[in-house]
Amino acid sequence: MSVDAPARLAIAIPTYNRPLILEQNLTAMLPDLCRNRIPIYVSDDSTETETEAVIRRLAARYELIHYKRNIPSLGHDGNFFQTVVMPDTDYVWYLGDSVFIKPGVLNQILPLLDSDVDFCFVNAYTTGGAVEHVSPSDMLSFLRMRTWYLTLSGATIYGRRPRKLVVSDDSRGNWTNFPQLGLILEYCAKRSAHSYWFGPPGIGINANKRSYWATSAFEVFVRDWSKLIRSFPQLFPDDVASEVIRSHALNTGLFGFKHLMSLRAHGVLSRSVLRQFEEEFSIATPLSLAYARTLCLVPPQLLKFLAWSARGLRGNS
């Protein structure tokens, strides 16, 4: 009986109360994972037991699925630090539980991992369709252009060296809600990093995903996002840091016209919230602060009514 060679790559997935989405994604990926004998590690922070039942069903079909239930739960950041070191493989693809690898992409990614790179960044929806080697001398300009995108859990495959990096509690404290990106930036600030950018869209996001951060947009994508970027002055001096902070909203539409209206309609945007985050918000959004202040004067119920009316008109057209 032949014995499998140690896997070069493993998939590591943190999850929290998304059993249906996780099952859909793993079921879709299973043919390619089985074909390449890629082990899967799931670190479960859920408050329900259905996720464990999902993994048990899938493990009956594929023996290389490993599962850990966290009791008590570790929280978003703690689960990252556990998940990314669970596999003892050369490379770990840290995959968010709402993210899936597109068919055939593993066969294109695996040859890149024979080059002893530190990171392989995989595109989902941004520009740049080529496969490019990112040398240490190119890394700084790459990060200034792409850091906004690397907030996506699933966009990065980590080599051994970044996963073994010793990180202080003080540093981790600056990475709240973005530990997967904090580790990338910390490594690049201290070491010469060899990386690949896999430009053809290689990952997708489950259409049934509901964001964990919908009611915490200001805390996460103004306060925490700004704090992360400004904690790396060696990579992002003040003027560059402001550009990188704003680049997230510019590229994702977050805090744009429609998103701010939605936040106001659901009571997330208010005058008190705006005052609390005003300084960094004026940098994080491409819109004027005056517009956000004016929007705070509009009753949320009116915006909900207008949105409902617009949907009705579209449905009847």
Q: Could you tell me if 78 and 197 lie in one domain?
A: yes
Q: What is residue 52's three-state secondary structure?
A: helix
Q: Could you tell me if 30 and 129 lie in one domain?
A: yes
Is 301 a domain residue? Answer: yes
Q: Could you tell me if 174 and 28 lie in one domain?
A: yes
Q: Could you tell me if 124 and 18 lie in one domain?
A: yes
pLDDT tens for the chain, 317 residues long, are 234 556 799 999 999 999 999 999 999 999 999 999 999 999 999 999 999 999 999 999 999 999 999 999 999 999 999 999 999 999 999 999 999 999 999 999 999 998 889 999 999 999 888 999 999 999 999 999 999 999 999 999 999 999 999 999 999 999 999 999 999 999 999 999 999 999 999 999 999 988 888 889 999 999 999 999 999 999 999 999 999 999 999 999 999 988 999 999 999 999 999 999 999 999 999 999 999 999 999 999 898 877 766 666 555 55
Q: Could you tell me if 64 and 93 lie in one domain?
A: yes
- Closest by CA to 12, choosing from 122, 94, 111, is 94
User: 212 to each of 215, 220, 267, how far by Cα in Å?
Assistant: 8, 10, 16
Q: Could you tell me if 46 and 162 lie in one domain?
A: yes
How far apart are alpha carbons 228 and 171 in whole angstroms?
A: 9
Q: How far apart are the first and last CA of the chain?
A: 65
Is 238 a domain residue? Answer: yes
Spatial CB neighbours of 19, under 8 Å, sequence gap ≥ 6: 46, 48, 50, 51, 53, 54
Q: Could you tell me if 37 and 100 lie in one domain?
A: yes
Q: What angle do CA 14, 198, 64 make, to 5 degrees?
A: 40
Is 2 a domain residue? Answer: no
CATH number at residue 142: 3.90.550.60
How far apart are alpha carbons 18 and 303 in whole angstroms?
A: 30
Is 14 a domain residue? Answer: yes
Domain, as residue range, for 244: 217-316
- Per the structure, the count of domains in the chain is 2
Q: Could you tell me if 168 and 237 lie in one domain?
A: no
Q: Could you tell me if 231 and 149 lie in one domain?
A: no
pTM of the model: 0.93
Residue 54 CA, chain-centre distance (Å), reads 23
Q: Which of 151, 180, 205 is the last residue of a domain?
A: 205
In 13-38, which positions are buried (b, 16+ CB within 10 angstroms) versus exposed (e)? bbbbebbebbbbbbeebbebbeeeeb
* 147 token code pair: 């850091």
Q: Could you tell me if 286 and 163 lie in one domain?
A: no
Is 126 a domain residue? Answer: yes
Spatial CB neighbours of 91, under 8 Å, sequence gap ≥ 6: 8, 9, 10, 113, 120, 157, 158, 159, 160
Q: Could you tell me if 95 and 190 lie in one domain?
A: yes
Is 138 a domain residue? Answer: yes
User: What angle, rounded to 10 degrees, do the helices at 179-190 and 136-146 form?
Assistant: 150
Q: Could you tell me if 15 and 144 lie in one domain?
A: yes
Is 153 a domain residue? Answer: yes
